[in-house]
Amino acid sequence: MEKRRLDKLGIETSLLGFGCMRFPTLEDGKIDEILAEKMLDQAMAQGVTYYDTAFPYHNGDSEPFVGRVLNKYDRSSYYLATKLPVWMVETREDAEKIFEDQLKRLDKEYVDFYLLHALDKERFEKVKKLGLIEMCEKFRQEGKIRYLGFSFHDDYEVFEEIINSYDWDFCQIQYNYMDTDVQAGDKGYALAEQKGIPMVIMEPVRGGLLAGFSDDIEEMFRETRPDQSIASWALRWVGSHANVKVILSGMSTPEQVEDNLKTFDHFETLSEKEQDTVKRVVDTLKGRVQNGCTGCRYCMPCPSGVDIPGSFRIWNDYHIYQKYSVVQNRWEKELSADAKPENCVECGACEEQCPQKISIREHLKRVQAELDHPVWK
């Protein structure tokens, strides 16, 4: 099993981390504990030492389940990570109560890696206002937290503000070969590396999107390495970055565990030829983008309430991955009926403001038509 040393902390972890948010489930939605325990046992047996859970995972069932399974093993044989749900906290007392409850749910005396969960600009303001870092420092002094970090979902500028605000032990970002300019991205990786802050990576396979493509894309990978799974390319791309110390994979089946263990048992960073293959794949996928919307929002607010950049983002992702399932929830649920392109009255105000000179009115018609009647499922 590939190991990485976190010099700042003086410890070594497995490069593969088990993300405990996508366990197999039963018909009632509860964790299939028999199968999930076998998966965790297999990971432990083959040297995985990092296990990542959180308060809300599996509707609150992940922490107690993971804690019970790990109780079979020597406490020094693994690292356990969980997170404070900042959005649920209104007072410091709320946060203290949640943390103490987490220790009970996990049935542990301490947490190795504790994260302020899913920070963005608004949540970070709350963290500062309520003194949550100071609270975590107190718990660290009491021996209940070993290492303090944060996970992140916002723009790079916010990441820069957060990472420069405190001497973090580690940080966790979304990073994969399709998201190098999304959220913290390449710039965030470079900044953390420069500061010597170890990185834990989530969404290396972009929620499964990078595990399977249309035949023409998969053939590009197979021409170079026919023996490698498509998902392994995404994991190896992330692991080819030296300051990546843990790569989280939310495994849902024994087959996924097997494939990941195969990738990390004899881990290989990408060769120059393989890097070129990934670049060709990315260029091909991004070549499917339907317009050059950068999300600058100069077109907003729309007088008719249409979410123009949001609609284009969904449309472009639909074409990139050629799967409606990728965008279905965003199109049918997250984008409200009032914000859909069909509400456009073609006033043209948006096109006067667009620095990319996009034919917004024409493209909005295509968005509505193509997503209401998708060709790709």
Q: What is the pLDDT of residues 105-150, one digit of tens each?
A: 999 999 999 999 989 899 999 999 999 999 999 999 999 999 999 9
Within a domain: residue 298? no
> Once rounded to an integer, what is the mean pLDDT over residues 182-197?
93
Burial of 307 (0-12, 13-18, 19+ CB in 10 A): buried
Report pLDDT for 45. 95
At residue 170, does pLDDT exceed 90?
Answer: yes
Question: pLDDT grade, residue 331 (50/70/90)?
Answer: very high
Sign of the C-alpha dihedral computed for residues 190, 192, 196 and 198 taken in this order:
negative
At residue 227, does pLDDT exceed 90?
Answer: no
| Closest C-alpha among 75, 19, 22 to residue 51 | 19
Q: Looking at 270, 299, 331, which one is the last position of a domain?
A: 270
Q: Are residues 137 and 24 in the same domain?
A: yes
Q: Are residues 210 and 347 in the same domain?
A: no
Within a domain: residue 128? yes
Q: Are residues 257 and 318 in the same domain?
A: no
Are the C-beta atoms of 43 and 10 separated by less than 8 Å? no
Report pLDDT for 294. 78
Within a domain: residue 294? no
Each residue's pLDDT tens digit, 348-361 = 999 988 888 899 99
Report pLDDT for 297. 84
Within a domain: residue 283? no
How far is Cα 163 from Cα 209, in angstroms, rounded to an integer?
28
Within a domain: residue 210? yes
**Number of structural domains the chain divides into:** 2
Q: Are residues 32 and 78 in the same domain?
A: yes
Q: Are residues 349 and 261 in the same domain?
A: no
At residue 207, does pLDDT exceed 80?
Answer: no
> Once rounded to an integer, what is the mean pLDDT over residues 305-328?
91
Each residue's pLDDT tens digit, 228-272 = 889 899 999 999 999 999 999 988 999 999 989 998 998 999 999
| Least reliable range by pLDDT among 108-117, 159-168, 206-215 | 206-215
Q: Are residues 324 and 254 in the same domain?
A: no
Q: Are residues 256 and 322 in the same domain?
A: no
Report pLDDT for 287. 87
Domain at 126, CATH number: 3.20.20.100
Within a domain: residue 277? no
Report pLDDT for 125. 94
Q: Are residues 68 and 191 in the same domain?
A: yes
Report pLDDT for 286. 85
How far is Cα 106 from Cα 109, in angstroms, rounded to an integer?
9
Structural domain harbouring 322: 308-372
Q: Are residues 256 and 367 in the same domain?
A: no
